[in-house]
Every structure is written in C-alpha cells, then in structure tokens.
Chain A
Amino acid sequence: MSLDDTLTPAQRDNLRAIAGVIIPASAQFDVPGADEPAIQADIVATLGRDAGLVRQALDEFARLAGSPLASLNPERRDAVALELRAKGGAAVATLTRIVLQCYYRDDRVVRSLGLEPRPPYPKGHVLEEGDWTLLDPVRARPKLWRPA
C-alpha cells in the first residue's frame, strides 16, 4: 500500500460509519455489517486507484455531518448518509462500490448467500443441460433470414 492509498484516522472512522449505514449487521441473516473490522481492513487494503475518490466522498460525508460522526446519534448519521447518497456523483458511487465489492466477497457473507467462498477457477460449476425439446417449435419454422 502506498501513502496515496491510505486514509487518515478521521477518514477511517467515517468509512466505518458510512459502511455500517449502507450494510448494517443482521441477526436475521447472521451476517456482519460492512463496518466489521475484517471487512473494513479489506476495504482499506484494496482502495488502490480508487483512494482519491473514496477520500473525497468521506470528506464530503464529514462536511455534511458538521461534527464528528462518532458523536452523531444513529438517526442523524443515517440522515446524513442518505443525503450523501442523494447527492450522487463519481466519488459517492466509487465509495459505495468499494464497500459492496468487499462485503460481498467476505467468506461469512458469501456462505450466508448459499455460495461457496472460493474463486471460480479451478473447480468451476455444473450447468444443467436443459430440455432441448423446447427447440421443437423453432425447428418447425420456415427460414427467417433474407436471401440477398
């Protein structure tokens, strides 16, 4: 990780806060929130080329809040987050995408979706052959293509 990829402590706090708003923990589905430390570590470690836009979004989040996010009550924090989302733009979209892409590759989350936490290669997947008699009515059609 280069210095350009890093976040200040305040930005990390803000990242944790907004990630928890986007995806809170759920006892119903037995999954952590996106503010959980391992997911946060993944986000920070993989900012890479997106670090600048993410910092921009986090700073905007802090500006809208007007005070340290940790001091906000949950209702006010959620309202500020939704205000940020409504503003839109490349920075907010990038921040949201980074949170989602790291959350939905976390082993616990992937398992909760009924999927295996692994890359596609080398095991691959099984694809049903399907019922080829579905093609019978299509086979019976006259040719559609236009001679030239």
Chain B
Amino acid sequence: MKLRIKYEKTGVLRFIGHLDVMRLFQKAIRRAKLDVAYSKGFSPHQIISFAAPMPLGMTSEGEYFDGEFNTVTSTEDMMDRLNRTLPDGIKVHDIVLLNDNAKPSMAIVSASDYYIYKNEECETDIPEVLKNYIEPMMNKTSVEIIKKTKSKEVMSDIKPLIYEIKPYKEGIYMLLASGSKDNLKPELVIEALCNEADIEYNRYDYMIHRIETYMGESKALKPLSCDGKQF
C-alpha cells in the first residue's frame, strides 16, 4: 500500500540537508515500528521517496514523501506514532492512502508557494523594502536574471514561472513553478527584486518558508495530499 506523508521541517533542523532528512525518516519509521516495505538484496532499504529536495536553510510546512507499506493502521495512529519519535522541528501533518493510479510525488510536483520574511539577525528588513518593488517588476514584459547551471550562466526570463507574488504578513508571498519540468528558486525572485530596487543581494538578509507543495496545472493547483484519502 502506498502512503503519502506530509510533514514540516522547521527550527534548527533547517540546517540539515535533504539526504539527512531521508535518513532521519528511515530511522523514525523503524522507531515507530511502522510496517514499511523493504527492497530485496544484500542491503535492503525502505521503499520511500521524497517529493522535492529542500535546500539547506529553508523551513517548510508542506513537505512530502511517499512510502510503500505492507500493512497500515489509520492516519491518526501512524501520525501519532511517528510524531512521538520525531525530533523537535520535524512533525507529520497528514498521511493519505494514495489512489491506485497515483504517480510518484517527485514526478508530479508542479509548484510551491513561499513566505519570505526578515532574518532577525539582520538590521534592515529587506523583505519590507522589497515589497515596494513587486509591482514595478511584475509590470515589465520580462524579468531577466542570470541562472547559474553546473557548467554555465544563462540569462533567463523568470516572469512566466512566477504564478503569483504579493506583499503578505510581514513579508512577501510567492507562488512559483517547481519540479522537474520548470523550476524557479525563490532566491532568484528575491535577487530580481533586489536588482529592481538597486540594492545588494545577500542570501542571509531574509528567511524562506515553504507553505505548500502542489501538483496539477498552474491554473488548477492542488496540494500533493489530494492524490489520496485519510484512512
């Protein structure tokens, strides 16, 4: 049986990487004594896969992984057992039993939304300053930015990948293309806003929090957990 598990990663655990989160869950699943399925061979491993890798430093309340289980109990029971053994900063929010035709989460991710807010260590509130440059930037026909790939740097128009951007709470909200087809990092949008505002870009002047991970067309996005039902 395939389950999709939604979790948050917050607090100091923002400093552990994607692979470390995977290993953390493998151990938590064992401690919680969930009946996860294993691969065959000399080094059997749990059959679990993560939706979208999360960069170091970012927090999130909308992360997902899929897992194959031999037997399951109920959403409530499995969540409870996991949450009792997970460290502060990682918490499971939902578990759904996937529909038979559901595709692996990593293949269907299409967008993510983010909340960008002030880094308390930083004297100036950069997101507050940048708020005023959202409209001027989005009113342009294109938003050009240098995208760095492994081998080269290319000029790229990121405007089509920004589905929504607006002032939000103490900072900025943005809904961006995400996944294997089109992917836009929130850092690049902030860099573009800094260019617009003519201020120096610095990654540590602001914090990024992912709110949700979505699947589907940009006009009809729905959270990854919509591919299944609680049980």
Q: Is B truly associated with A?
A: no
Chain A residues within 8 Å of B, Cβ to Cβ: none
